[in-house]
Structure formats: C-alpha cells, structure tokens
C-alpha cells in the first residue's frame, strides 16, 4: 500500500505533465495559429483597404500612372513582406508588386471568383492554384461610382505566420516545463507532509501489530496526520500500559496468593511432623485460618471485579437511611481501632439521611474506605466520617491523618491491584482491589468518588449518593 500511494501520486504527476504537453501541442498551437492568422488578416485588410481607396482607385480613375502605383506598392511589399496584387473582377492581373510591369504578357487568374472568401475578407490556400504554397490572401474591393472595379489582394505566406506561431508555442513549452518543475513542489510537499508521516504511522502500526507496544515514533505536524499519529501513539501507550498492568496484576496475584499458601503449608507441615507441639496447634491453626480468610477475600475481590466488568453492575437500589449504615460499619471496626488506638469520629447530617442506592454495595464501599483509612493511619490518630447534603445529593467523606498518598500515585490508586510500594510492605492483607471495586460501584450509581491527599498528612475520600426522592422519609 505504501509504495502504490507514492507511485500513484508520481503517476498522477506524470499524467499531469503529459496532458499539459498534449494540450499545449494541440489546442494552444491551433489557437495561437488561428489568432495570429486573424490578427495578420486584420492588419493586411486595413492595408488593402487603404491601397484600394487611394492608389488603386486613382489608377482606375486614371489619376495616376501604373508605374507610380507600382513603385508605391513595391515599397509596401517590402514593408509588409507580402505580395500585393491589383486584379480586375474578371481575374486579369493589373499590377503585381512581385513582378515588373509587363503589359505585353497578360496574366489572368483562372477561375477567379471574388466570393471565395465566403463572407469573410480573407482566404487561406493556393489562391486558385497560383501559388505552390499555402497563402493568406486578403481582399479589399476597389469601388468607384458604387461599382466594383477591381480588387486589391495581399498575399502573405502562411509559413511566416506559422513561424511566429511556433515561436509563441515554444514560449508555451518553456512555460509548461517551468510549471511542471514548479509543480514538483506539490510532490515534495506531498512527500514531506503526507507520505513520510504516513510511512511512519504505517511502520508504527506494523510494530504495534507485531506486539511491540513500546515502539515510539514522532510526527511533527499539527494537522490531521499529526493528530492521527498522536492518537495512535496514545492508543499504543494505553495498550502498553494496560499490558504492563496486566503483567503486574498477574505478578501481584501470584505473589499475593503464594505468600499465604506458603505460610499455610509451612505451619501445617510443622504441625504434622511435630515441630509445632500439639498444645500450640490452636494458635497456629488460627494463623492458618487468617491466611485462608485473606485468600478468600482476594478471590472474592477478583470475582466481584470480574462480574462488574462482564455484566456491568446490576444494582438493587432501594431507599434507605444512610446514618445507621455508617454507624454499624464504623462499629464493626471497633476491635481494629482499639488495637491501634484510633478513634472514629462521626459527623452525620440529620437524624436520618435517606439515599437511593444499593445498600449492600454501599456497605462494601464504606467498608473499603474505612478499612484503608485505618490501615494507613498512624497509631493514636483519628478518622473522621462526615456526611453533607447539597443539591439533592449526599456527600460522604472518610478522612484520615495517616501516611497520605504521593502525588504521582493519586491517579493510580484506582487501578486494579495497585498497591503503593510503601503499603505493600506494611499492609500484607491488602489486595489492591478495594478502591477499584469502590470506584466501579460509585460509577454504577452514576455518582463520583474523589480523593484529596497529601503525603505524610492524610487522605480524604469523598463520594456522592443521590438523596431519596421520597421527601417524607427525610
């Protein structure tokens, strides 16, 4: 495809040149000749009329001699480079500027017919076979007493007119060549602006198609092609990113599955071979249980996300009071909070706050956010859960004063399996799925979730929910 596009353009260029030549060689050539012929005929007709009205009519009125007129016509013959005749209507030659006056030998033009010009004042041909070459012959009648006494005929060889036409034609050819060369600019422009960028884009697509998503290319133009290249490059970087995410994801999943499995296996083997004495079994079986819970959590998270992606989310929306839901979930963290001496402060608007949402999913969202807030909080700190009402929406905020999120990670925390490096070490239980599930749930409700966070200061997650439309319940 690449080659043919260029070839097509070059072919178009050659065809343009060829047709340009054909047009000049045919139309322009015939038009120039026709124009010059007419122009010459016009000029000669003026001369012929002048001669007819002056010398020739004087001659017929016997006011001047044949020799005087001959002399005058000879001068004009040289000046015009044309042969001037004065002939009678019968065709008898009275005077020929190209031959001496010879009264003895009468010259008669056979078949002379003054109507040969058929309405015009000139004719092209051999003039009743008197010439061996093509001549332009211009007629002007000599009239006296309203009668045609004779004709002034001026002959000019067509060859001389064709010579002038050819000179003009040569100029046209030169112009055509200049134009052809100038239009090379279009070809160069096309090559630079379209063909080369397209080649780069095609090369890039080939690279992408063969799996090299990290292939980089640069098209520095701000037109549609530049836009196309930028979009393509963006698309590739997105695919590359998602591929990288996928790899990271598999690595994370395997890592997250492997570590609990390794510890379960280790404890069970130690119990079986007696390394762990039977009286200690309960303690280690509890550890094993915790690890299996973690595995279950991970598997559930994966399943939830998978379902969200494949089916979209089916929500079971009902109107419910949000306040007790928040209180209950906060209460469920009491044990964890006590061990880290973290306090949860609830600042809830209104005695009741009815929202329209899927209660189970919103519980999951609150659970994830509070769980994170506690995980990433320092000991002896406080977490604030606050609700606010605005424009028929309820804004729920979960705010901690923990480790915060680095600026560069803020966009990434919503990605599946994203766990910041710092949390990976500390928070072994995290799956990196919580926030992406949370975001999907909130988006499925047609609402938004946002985070404001400063590293080493704390984080605040705020999401909105639609208030219940039934005002009575509020």
Instruction: Find the shortest distance in angstroms from Cβ 286 to ligand ADP.
Output: 22
Q: Which of 233, 252, 323, 459 binds ligand ADP (CB under 6 A)?
A: 459
304 counts as binding ligand ADP under rule CB under 6 A: no
Near ligand ADP by CB under 6 A: residue from 139, 376, 395, 463: 376
Nearer residue to ligand ADP within complex by CB, 372 or 464? 372
Please count the CA atoms within 13 angstroms of the CA of 44 that sit on its side-chain side.
28
Residue closer to ligand ADP by CB (options 160, 381) is 381
298 binds ligand ADP (CB under 6 A): no
Name the one range near ligand ADP by CB under 6 A: 112-120, 157-165, 288-296, 412-420.
412-420
Residues whose CB is less than 8 angstroms from the CB of residue 57 and which lie 6 or more positions away in sequence, other chains included: 142, 143, 144, 149
Structure token digits, residue 425: 């070490």
> Phi, psi at residue 382, to the nearest 5°?
-125, 150
Q: Does 440 bind ligand ADP (CB under 6 A)?
A: no
Among residues 60, 63, 67, the alpha carbon closest in space to that of 143 is found at 60
Smallest gap from Cβ 402 to ligand ADP, in A, equals: 5
Rounded Cα distance between 134 and 83, Å, is 13
Q: Residue 462 Cβ, how far from ligand ADP at the closest point, in Å?
A: 12
3-state helix, strand, coil in the chain (%, to 5): 60, 20, 25
For residues 381 to 410, the per-residue mask of contacts with ligand ADP, x marking binding by CB under 6 A and - elsewhere, is -------------------x-xxxx-----
Which range in 21-29, 151-159, 191-199, 420-428 contacts ligand ADP by CB under 6 A? Answer: 420-428
Cα 35 to chain centroid, rounded: 48
Q: Dihedrals φ, ψ of 283, to 5°?
A: -60, -45
Non-local CB neighbours of 71 within 8 Å, separated by 6+ positions: none
Q: Which of 386, 365, 380 is nearest to 433 (CA)?
A: 365
Q: Judged by CB under 6 A, does residue 236 bind ligand ADP?
A: no
Is residue 260 a contact point for ligand ADP (CB under 6 A)?
A: no
* Of 423, 441, 463, 464, the one binding ligand ADP by CB under 6 A: 423
Task: Name the minimum Å distance from CB 400 to ligand ADP.
Answer: 5
Distance separating alpha carbons of residues 458 and 373, to the nearest angstrom: 9
Sites of contact with ligand ADP (CB under 6 A): 368, 372-373, 376, 400, 402-405, 413, 418-420, 423, 427, 430-436, 459
């Amino acid at each position: 495809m690449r080659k043919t596009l260029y070839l097509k353009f070059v072919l178009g260029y050659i065809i343009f040149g060829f047709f340009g030549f054909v047009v000049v060689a045919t139309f322009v050539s015939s038009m120039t000749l026709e124009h010059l012929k007419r122009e010459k005929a016009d000029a000669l007709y003026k001369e012929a009329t002048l001669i007819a009205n002056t010398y020739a009519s004087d001659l017929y009125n016997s006011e001047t001699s044949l020799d005087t007129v001959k002399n005058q016509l000879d001068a004009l013959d040289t000046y015009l480079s044309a042969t001037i005749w004065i002939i009678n209507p019968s065709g008898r030659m009275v005077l020929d500027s190209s031959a001496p006056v010879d009264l003895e030998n009468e010259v008669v033009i056979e078949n002379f017919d003054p109507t040969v010009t058929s309405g015009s004042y000139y004719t092209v041909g051999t003039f009743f076979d008197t010439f061996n070459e093509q001549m332009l012959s211009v007629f002007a009648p000599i009239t006296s007493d309203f009668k045609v006494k004779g004709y002034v005929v001026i002959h000019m060889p067509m060859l001389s007119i064709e010579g002038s036409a050819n000179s003009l034609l040569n100029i046209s050819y030169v112009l055509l060549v200049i134009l052809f060369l100038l239009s090379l600019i279009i070809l160069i422009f096309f090559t630079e602006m379209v063909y080369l960028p397209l080649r780069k884009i095609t090369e890039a697509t080939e690279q992408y198609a063969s799996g090299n998503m990290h292939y980089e290319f640069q098209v520095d133009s701000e037109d549609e092609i530049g836009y196309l290249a930028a979009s393509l490059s963006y698309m590739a970087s997105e695919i590359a990113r998602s591929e990288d995410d996928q790899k990271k994801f598999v690595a994370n999943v395997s890592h997250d599955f492997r570590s609990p499995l390794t510890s379960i296996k280790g404890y069970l083997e130690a119990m079986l071979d007696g390394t762990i004495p039977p009286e200690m079994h309960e303690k280690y079986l509890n550890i094993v249980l915790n690890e299996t819970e973690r595995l279950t959590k991970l598997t559930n998270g994966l399943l939830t996300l998978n379902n969200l992606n494949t089916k979209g989310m089916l929500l079971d929306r009902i109107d419910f009071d949000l306040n007790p839901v928040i209180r209950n979930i906060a209460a469920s963290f009491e044990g964890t909070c006590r061990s880290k001496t973290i306090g949860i402060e609830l600042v809830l608007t209104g005695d009741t706050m009815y929202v329209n949402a899927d209660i189970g999913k919103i519980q999951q969202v609150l659970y994830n956010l509070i769980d994170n807030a506690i995980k990433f909080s320092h000991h002896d700190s406080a977490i604030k859960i606050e609700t606010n009402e605005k424009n028929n929406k309820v804004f729920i905020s979960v705010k901690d004063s923990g480790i915060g999120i680095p600026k560069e990670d803020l966009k990434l925390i919503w990605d599946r399996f994203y766990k910041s490096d710092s949390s990976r070490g500390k928070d072994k239980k995290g799956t990196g799925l919580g926030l992406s599930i949370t975001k999907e749930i909130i988006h499925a409700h047609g609402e938004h979730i946002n985070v404001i966070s400063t590293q080493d200061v704390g984080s605040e997650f705020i999401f909105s929910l639609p208030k219940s439309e039934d005002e009575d319940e509020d």
